[in-house]
Amino acid sequence: MLTLVLVVILAALVFEFINGFHDTANSIATVVATKVLSPGQAVMLAAVMNLIGALTGTAVAKTIASGLVDTNVVQVTSQVILCALLGGIIWNLITWWKGLPSSSSHALIGGLCGAALAAAHNDWGALLWSQAAGDWTQNKGILWKVVLPMISSPVAGFVLGIVVMVLLWGLIVLLSKLGGWLGRLARPHFVNKFFGKAQILSAAYMGYAHGHNDAQKTMGIIALTLFGAEASGALDNLPGWLAFLHPGSAGEQDIAMWIVITCAIVMALGTASGGWKIIKTLGHKMVKLHPINGFAAETSSATILTVAAHFGMPVSTTHSISTAIMGVGFAKNPRALKFGVIERILWAWVLTIPAAGGIAYGLLRLLESIGWA
Protein backbone atom coordinates (compact mmCIF):
# COMPACT_ATOMS: atom_id res chain seq x y z
CA MET A 1 0.00 0.00 0.00
CA LEU A 2 2.80 2.43 0.88
CA THR A 3 4.45 1.70 -2.47
CA LEU A 4 1.21 2.59 -4.25
CA VAL A 5 0.97 5.87 -2.32
CA LEU A 6 4.50 6.77 -3.41
CA VAL A 7 3.67 5.83 -7.03
CA VAL A 8 0.63 8.14 -6.90
CA ILE A 9 2.72 11.02 -5.53
CA LEU A 10 5.25 10.42 -8.32
CA ALA A 11 2.41 10.43 -10.90
CA ALA A 12 1.13 13.70 -9.41
CA LEU A 13 4.56 15.26 -9.84
CA VAL A 14 4.71 13.97 -13.43
CA PHE A 15 1.36 15.71 -14.01
CA GLU A 16 2.79 18.87 -12.47
CA PHE A 17 5.82 18.70 -14.76
CA ILE A 18 3.60 18.18 -17.82
CA ASN A 19 1.38 21.01 -16.63
CA GLY A 20 4.51 23.17 -16.56
CA PHE A 21 5.59 22.53 -20.14
CA HIS A 22 2.01 22.31 -21.43
CA ASP A 23 0.91 25.60 -19.89
CA THR A 24 4.23 27.39 -20.29
CA ALA A 25 3.00 28.31 -23.73
CA ASN A 26 -0.05 29.99 -22.25
CA SER A 27 1.98 32.27 -20.03
CA ILE A 28 4.69 33.24 -22.53
CA ALA A 29 3.09 32.93 -25.99
CA THR A 30 2.40 36.64 -26.34
CA VAL A 31 5.83 37.85 -25.22
CA VAL A 32 7.45 35.46 -27.73
CA ALA A 33 5.01 36.34 -30.52
CA THR A 34 5.75 40.06 -30.13
CA LYS A 35 9.51 39.30 -30.18
CA VAL A 36 10.03 41.17 -26.91
CA LEU A 37 11.87 38.12 -25.51
CA SER A 38 13.44 35.12 -27.19
CA PRO A 39 11.80 31.75 -26.41
CA GLY A 40 14.68 30.83 -24.10
CA GLN A 41 14.49 34.10 -22.16
CA ALA A 42 10.70 33.86 -21.90
CA VAL A 43 10.81 30.27 -20.62
CA MET A 44 13.33 31.12 -17.90
CA LEU A 45 11.31 34.16 -16.83
CA ALA A 46 8.17 32.04 -16.66
CA ALA A 47 9.96 29.29 -14.70
CA VAL A 48 11.21 31.70 -12.04
CA MET A 49 7.83 33.44 -11.71
CA ASN A 50 5.97 30.10 -11.65
CA LEU A 51 8.14 29.09 -8.72
CA ILE A 52 7.42 32.31 -6.82
CA GLY A 53 3.70 32.15 -7.59
CA ALA A 54 3.41 28.53 -6.46
CA LEU A 55 4.82 29.41 -3.04
CA THR A 56 2.25 32.10 -2.28
CA GLY A 57 -1.05 30.40 -1.49
CA THR A 58 -3.02 27.17 -0.99
CA ALA A 59 -6.69 28.15 -1.46
CA VAL A 60 -6.96 26.34 -4.82
CA ALA A 61 -5.15 23.31 -3.38
CA LYS A 62 -7.79 23.05 -0.64
CA THR A 63 -10.57 23.17 -3.25
CA ILE A 64 -9.06 20.24 -5.16
CA ALA A 65 -8.41 18.32 -1.93
CA SER A 66 -11.82 18.70 -0.31
CA GLY A 67 -14.26 20.68 -2.47
CA LEU A 68 -15.16 18.40 -5.40
CA VAL A 69 -15.60 14.80 -4.19
CA ASP A 70 -17.77 13.70 -1.26
CA THR A 71 -15.51 11.38 0.73
CA ASN A 72 -18.54 10.26 2.78
CA VAL A 73 -19.96 8.63 -0.35
CA VAL A 74 -16.83 7.28 -2.02
CA GLN A 75 -13.44 6.34 -0.63
CA VAL A 76 -10.75 8.23 -2.52
CA THR A 77 -8.11 5.52 -2.64
CA SER A 78 -4.66 5.73 -4.15
CA GLN A 79 -5.98 3.82 -7.16
CA VAL A 80 -8.68 6.46 -7.69
CA ILE A 81 -6.14 9.28 -7.54
CA LEU A 82 -3.75 7.41 -9.86
CA CYS A 83 -6.46 6.92 -12.49
CA ALA A 84 -7.49 10.58 -12.14
CA LEU A 85 -3.93 11.69 -12.75
CA LEU A 86 -3.45 9.33 -15.69
CA GLY A 87 -6.67 10.61 -17.24
CA GLY A 88 -5.37 14.17 -17.01
CA ILE A 89 -1.88 13.27 -18.19
CA ILE A 90 -3.07 11.30 -21.23
CA TRP A 91 -5.44 14.06 -22.34
CA ASN A 92 -2.75 16.71 -21.80
CA LEU A 93 -0.30 14.77 -23.95
CA ILE A 94 -2.89 14.26 -26.70
CA THR A 95 -3.69 17.98 -26.87
CA TRP A 96 0.00 18.93 -26.61
CA TRP A 97 0.78 16.63 -29.52
CA LYS A 98 -2.00 18.28 -31.54
CA GLY A 99 -0.80 21.75 -30.51
CA LEU A 100 -4.10 22.60 -28.83
CA PRO A 101 -4.07 24.85 -25.72
CA SER A 102 -6.46 22.75 -23.61
CA SER A 103 -6.81 23.21 -19.87
CA SER A 104 -4.58 21.15 -17.55
CA SER A 105 -6.84 22.29 -14.70
CA HIS A 106 -9.95 20.87 -16.29
CA ALA A 107 -8.09 17.72 -17.35
CA LEU A 108 -7.22 17.10 -13.70
CA ILE A 109 -10.72 17.97 -12.47
CA GLY A 110 -12.30 15.77 -15.15
CA GLY A 111 -9.97 12.90 -14.25
CA LEU A 112 -10.79 13.21 -10.55
CA CYS A 113 -14.55 13.29 -11.18
CA GLY A 114 -14.42 10.38 -13.63
CA ALA A 115 -12.36 8.18 -11.33
CA ALA A 116 -14.53 9.04 -8.30
CA LEU A 117 -17.70 8.23 -10.26
CA ALA A 118 -16.26 4.85 -11.30
CA ALA A 119 -15.25 4.09 -7.71
CA ALA A 120 -18.77 4.95 -6.54
CA HIS A 121 -20.23 2.60 -9.18
CA ASN A 122 -22.01 5.44 -10.99
CA ASP A 123 -23.44 7.02 -7.83
CA TRP A 124 -23.46 10.70 -8.85
CA GLY A 125 -23.76 11.61 -5.17
CA ALA A 126 -20.01 11.03 -4.97
CA LEU A 127 -19.51 14.37 -6.71
CA LEU A 128 -20.13 17.53 -4.71
CA TRP A 129 -22.31 19.59 -7.02
CA SER A 130 -23.10 22.51 -4.72
CA GLN A 131 -22.46 23.01 -1.02
CA ALA A 132 -23.40 26.36 0.50
CA ALA A 133 -21.18 27.94 3.15
CA GLY A 134 -22.92 31.27 3.73
CA ASP A 135 -20.61 33.52 1.74
CA TRP A 136 -20.74 32.40 -1.93
CA THR A 137 -16.97 32.76 -2.23
CA GLN A 138 -16.60 29.98 0.37
CA ASN A 139 -19.09 27.62 -1.28
CA LYS A 140 -17.83 24.19 -2.30
CA GLY A 141 -18.74 21.97 -5.19
CA ILE A 142 -18.39 21.66 -8.95
CA LEU A 143 -20.99 24.36 -9.63
CA TRP A 144 -19.14 27.05 -7.65
CA LYS A 145 -15.53 25.99 -8.13
CA VAL A 146 -15.56 24.61 -11.69
CA VAL A 147 -18.65 25.48 -13.76
CA LEU A 148 -19.03 29.10 -12.66
CA PRO A 149 -15.36 30.04 -13.26
CA MET A 150 -15.26 27.89 -16.43
CA ILE A 151 -17.96 30.12 -17.91
CA SER A 152 -17.07 33.43 -16.30
CA SER A 153 -13.28 33.43 -16.74
CA PRO A 154 -13.29 33.20 -20.58
CA VAL A 155 -15.95 35.90 -20.74
CA ALA A 156 -13.99 38.04 -18.30
CA GLY A 157 -10.79 37.44 -20.27
CA PHE A 158 -12.41 38.51 -23.53
CA VAL A 159 -14.10 41.61 -22.04
CA LEU A 160 -11.11 42.67 -19.97
CA GLY A 161 -8.82 42.28 -22.98
CA ILE A 162 -11.06 44.65 -24.95
CA VAL A 163 -11.34 47.13 -22.05
CA VAL A 164 -7.60 47.29 -21.35
CA MET A 165 -6.83 47.64 -25.06
CA VAL A 166 -9.39 50.45 -25.51
CA LEU A 167 -8.07 52.28 -22.42
CA LEU A 168 -4.50 52.09 -23.69
CA TRP A 169 -5.49 53.38 -27.10
CA GLY A 170 -7.52 56.14 -25.46
CA LEU A 171 -4.44 57.21 -23.51
CA ILE A 172 -2.34 57.24 -26.69
CA VAL A 173 -4.94 59.35 -28.54
CA LEU A 174 -5.08 61.78 -25.61
CA LEU A 175 -1.30 62.17 -25.58
CA SER A 176 -1.22 62.78 -29.33
CA LYS A 177 -3.81 65.54 -29.00
CA LEU A 178 -1.90 67.24 -26.18
CA GLY A 179 1.02 67.74 -28.57
CA GLY A 180 4.53 68.81 -27.59
CA TRP A 181 6.75 66.31 -25.83
CA LEU A 182 3.65 64.43 -24.62
CA GLY A 183 2.56 64.06 -28.22
CA ARG A 184 5.88 62.49 -29.09
CA LEU A 185 5.13 59.76 -26.53
CA ALA A 186 2.21 58.68 -28.71
CA ARG A 187 4.32 58.01 -31.79
CA PRO A 188 4.34 54.34 -32.90
CA HIS A 189 8.10 53.98 -32.41
CA PHE A 190 7.94 55.12 -28.76
CA VAL A 191 4.76 53.13 -28.06
CA ASN A 192 6.36 49.91 -29.34
CA LYS A 193 9.55 50.59 -27.41
CA PHE A 194 7.74 51.40 -24.16
CA PHE A 195 5.39 48.41 -24.26
CA GLY A 196 8.26 46.18 -25.33
CA LYS A 197 9.77 46.92 -21.90
CA ALA A 198 6.40 46.90 -20.10
CA GLN A 199 5.58 43.51 -21.56
CA ILE A 200 8.47 41.96 -19.67
CA LEU A 201 6.64 42.98 -16.47
CA SER A 202 3.28 41.73 -17.73
CA ALA A 203 4.86 38.40 -18.78
CA ALA A 204 6.39 38.09 -15.31
CA TYR A 205 2.97 38.84 -13.80
CA MET A 206 1.44 36.17 -16.04
CA GLY A 207 4.05 33.62 -14.97
CA TYR A 208 3.42 34.43 -11.30
CA ALA A 209 -0.35 34.11 -11.72
CA HIS A 210 0.03 30.77 -13.53
CA GLY A 211 2.13 29.33 -10.72
CA HIS A 212 -0.15 30.86 -8.08
CA ASN A 213 -3.22 29.11 -9.52
CA ASP A 214 -2.07 26.02 -11.45
CA ALA A 215 0.66 24.63 -9.20
CA GLN A 216 -1.80 24.44 -6.33
CA LYS A 217 -3.95 21.87 -8.11
CA THR A 218 -1.34 19.14 -7.79
CA MET A 219 -0.71 20.19 -4.19
CA GLY A 220 -4.38 19.43 -3.53
CA ILE A 221 -4.15 16.03 -5.25
CA ILE A 222 -1.13 15.00 -3.14
CA ALA A 223 -2.85 16.20 0.05
CA LEU A 224 -5.98 14.22 -0.89
CA THR A 225 -3.85 11.12 -1.55
CA LEU A 226 -2.17 11.35 1.86
CA PHE A 227 -5.47 12.01 3.63
CA GLY A 228 -6.98 8.89 2.06
CA ALA A 229 -3.86 6.84 2.80
CA GLU A 230 -3.92 7.94 6.43
CA ALA A 231 -7.60 7.00 6.77
CA SER A 232 -7.01 3.55 5.24
CA GLY A 233 -4.02 2.81 7.47
CA ALA A 234 -1.53 2.78 4.60
CA LEU A 235 0.68 5.24 6.50
CA ASP A 236 0.75 3.25 9.75
CA ASN A 237 4.21 2.27 11.01
CA LEU A 238 6.06 4.48 8.56
CA PRO A 239 9.86 4.42 8.81
CA GLY A 240 11.27 7.56 10.38
CA TRP A 241 12.57 9.01 7.12
CA LEU A 242 9.03 8.98 5.66
CA ALA A 243 7.28 10.48 8.70
CA PHE A 244 6.69 13.71 6.75
CA LEU A 245 4.01 11.88 4.72
CA HIS A 246 1.55 12.02 7.63
CA PRO A 247 -0.95 14.78 6.73
CA GLY A 248 -1.47 15.73 10.38
CA SER A 249 -4.68 16.21 12.32
CA ALA A 250 -6.02 18.85 9.94
CA GLY A 251 -5.90 16.41 7.04
CA GLU A 252 -6.31 17.88 3.59
CA GLN A 253 -7.30 21.26 5.04
CA ASP A 254 -3.64 21.88 5.81
CA ILE A 255 -1.28 21.67 2.83
CA ALA A 256 2.15 20.67 4.17
CA MET A 257 5.04 22.95 3.26
CA TRP A 258 7.04 20.11 1.66
CA ILE A 259 4.15 19.57 -0.78
CA VAL A 260 4.06 23.27 -1.66
CA ILE A 261 7.82 23.51 -2.23
CA THR A 262 8.05 20.25 -4.20
CA CYS A 263 5.19 21.13 -6.53
CA ALA A 264 6.58 24.63 -7.07
CA ILE A 265 10.00 23.30 -8.07
CA VAL A 266 8.61 20.56 -10.34
CA MET A 267 6.32 23.01 -12.16
CA ALA A 268 9.24 25.39 -12.64
CA LEU A 269 11.32 22.55 -14.12
CA GLY A 270 8.46 21.60 -16.44
CA THR A 271 8.09 25.21 -17.47
CA ALA A 272 11.79 25.38 -18.30
CA SER A 273 11.32 22.55 -20.82
CA GLY A 274 8.86 24.64 -22.89
CA GLY A 275 5.94 23.82 -25.17
CA TRP A 276 6.51 25.40 -28.55
CA LYS A 277 3.61 23.87 -30.48
CA ILE A 278 1.06 25.63 -28.29
CA ILE A 279 3.04 28.89 -28.38
CA LYS A 280 2.70 28.78 -32.17
CA THR A 281 -1.08 28.34 -31.95
CA LEU A 282 -1.68 31.00 -29.30
CA GLY A 283 0.95 33.54 -30.25
CA HIS A 284 0.85 33.45 -34.02
CA LYS A 285 -2.21 31.72 -35.43
CA MET A 286 -5.10 33.52 -33.70
CA VAL A 287 -4.17 37.14 -34.38
CA LYS A 288 -1.05 39.18 -35.13
CA LEU A 289 0.21 40.84 -31.93
CA HIS A 290 2.28 43.94 -31.17
CA PRO A 291 3.87 44.67 -27.74
CA ILE A 292 0.92 46.81 -26.62
CA ASN A 293 -1.46 43.96 -27.49
CA GLY A 294 0.67 41.44 -25.62
CA PHE A 295 0.81 43.70 -22.56
CA ALA A 296 -2.98 44.08 -22.55
CA ALA A 297 -3.62 40.34 -22.95
CA GLU A 298 -1.12 39.26 -20.27
CA THR A 299 -2.24 41.87 -17.75
CA SER A 300 -5.91 40.94 -18.25
CA SER A 301 -5.33 37.19 -17.97
CA ALA A 302 -2.98 37.38 -14.98
CA THR A 303 -5.44 39.56 -13.06
CA ILE A 304 -8.23 37.02 -13.59
CA LEU A 305 -6.00 34.14 -12.44
CA THR A 306 -4.82 35.99 -9.34
CA VAL A 307 -8.33 36.99 -8.26
CA ALA A 308 -9.64 33.45 -8.88
CA ALA A 309 -6.80 31.90 -6.85
CA HIS A 310 -7.67 34.20 -3.94
CA PHE A 311 -11.16 32.67 -3.87
CA GLY A 312 -9.89 29.11 -4.30
CA MET A 313 -11.21 28.73 -7.85
CA PRO A 314 -9.06 26.45 -10.07
CA VAL A 315 -9.40 28.63 -13.17
CA SER A 316 -7.86 27.60 -16.47
CA THR A 317 -4.78 29.59 -17.50
CA THR A 318 -5.49 28.45 -21.05
CA HIS A 319 -9.01 29.86 -21.07
CA SER A 320 -8.08 33.21 -19.57
CA ILE A 321 -5.08 33.97 -21.81
CA SER A 322 -6.71 32.62 -24.98
CA THR A 323 -9.82 34.72 -24.53
CA ALA A 324 -7.77 37.76 -23.48
CA ILE A 325 -5.85 37.45 -26.77
CA MET A 326 -9.18 37.12 -28.60
CA GLY A 327 -10.47 40.24 -26.83
CA VAL A 328 -7.37 42.23 -27.70
CA GLY A 329 -7.58 41.01 -31.31
CA PHE A 330 -11.27 41.90 -31.48
CA ALA A 331 -10.57 45.42 -30.17
CA LYS A 332 -7.80 45.78 -32.73
CA ASN A 333 -9.81 44.49 -35.69
CA PRO A 334 -12.71 42.00 -35.42
CA ARG A 335 -11.84 40.71 -38.90
CA ALA A 336 -8.27 39.91 -37.85
CA LEU A 337 -9.37 36.99 -35.66
CA LYS A 338 -8.85 33.60 -37.30
CA PHE A 339 -12.06 31.84 -36.40
CA GLY A 340 -10.94 28.46 -37.72
CA VAL A 341 -8.19 28.30 -35.09
CA ILE A 342 -10.55 29.61 -32.41
CA GLU A 343 -13.07 26.88 -33.24
CA ARG A 344 -10.42 24.17 -32.72
CA ILE A 345 -9.51 25.68 -29.35
CA LEU A 346 -13.16 25.85 -28.27
CA TRP A 347 -13.67 22.19 -29.13
CA ALA A 348 -10.64 21.30 -26.98
CA TRP A 349 -12.19 23.25 -24.10
CA VAL A 350 -15.56 21.54 -24.41
CA LEU A 351 -14.06 18.05 -24.64
CA THR A 352 -11.42 18.30 -21.89
CA ILE A 353 -13.47 17.50 -18.75
CA PRO A 354 -15.53 14.64 -20.27
CA ALA A 355 -12.53 13.25 -22.20
CA ALA A 356 -10.16 13.19 -19.20
CA GLY A 357 -13.02 11.96 -17.02
CA GLY A 358 -13.85 9.19 -19.46
CA ILE A 359 -10.22 8.05 -19.62
CA ALA A 360 -9.95 8.00 -15.81
CA TYR A 361 -13.30 6.20 -15.50
CA GLY A 362 -12.19 3.52 -17.96
CA LEU A 363 -8.82 3.07 -16.28
CA LEU A 364 -10.37 2.49 -12.84
CA ARG A 365 -12.87 0.05 -14.30
CA LEU A 366 -9.93 -1.79 -15.90
CA LEU A 367 -8.08 -1.94 -12.57
CA GLU A 368 -11.21 -3.26 -10.90
CA SER A 369 -11.65 -5.95 -13.56
CA ILE A 370 -8.15 -7.31 -12.92
CA GLY A 371 -8.45 -7.03 -9.14
CA TRP A 372 -6.09 -4.10 -8.59
CA ALA A 373 -8.73 -1.72 -7.25
State the pLDDT at residue 277: 54
State the pLDDT at residue 317: 81
Which helix H or strand E contains 224, and what residues bound it? helix 188-232
State the pLDDT at residue 341: 62
Residues 6+ apart with CB under 8 A from 348: 95, 100, 101, 102
State the pLDDT at residue 280: 54
Q: Which residues pair with 69 in a beta bridge?
A: 127
Nearest to 207 by CA among 284, 302, 324: 302
d(CA 333, CA 62): 41
Residues 6+ apart with CB under 8 A from 112: 64, 68, 69, 81, 84, 221, 360
Tens digit of pLDDT at every position of the chain (373 positions) = 788 999 999 999 998 898 887 766 666 777 877 788 887 788 888 888 988 998 888 888 888 877 789 888 988 889 999 999 999 999 988 887 877 767 888 899 999 999 999 999 999 999 999 887 766 667 778 888 888 888 888 889 999 999 999 999 999 999 998 888 888 888 988 998 999 899 999 999 998 998 888 888 889 899 888 888 888 888 888 888 888 888 765 445 568 889 989 998 998 888 777 655 555 555 445 566 788 988 999 999 999 999 998 888 888 887 888 889 889 988 988 876 777 767 776 777 789 999 999 999 999 999 999 988 7
Residues 6+ apart with CB under 8 A from 280: 99
Longest dimension (CA), the chain: 79
Neighbours of 358 (CB within 10 A): 17
Rounded to a whole number of angstroms, the CA Rg of the chain reads 21
d(CA 44, CA 48): 6
The number of residues making up the chain comes to 373
State the pLDDT at residue 200: 92
Q: What share of residues in the chain are helix, strand, coil (percent, to 5)?
A: 80, 0, 20
Where do the structural domains in the chain lie, given as residue ranges? Answer: 2-369
Q: Which contacts qualify for 365-373: CB closer than 8 Å, 24 or more apart?
A: 365/118, 367/79, 367/83, 368/118, 372/79, 373/77, 373/79, 373/80, 373/83, 373/119
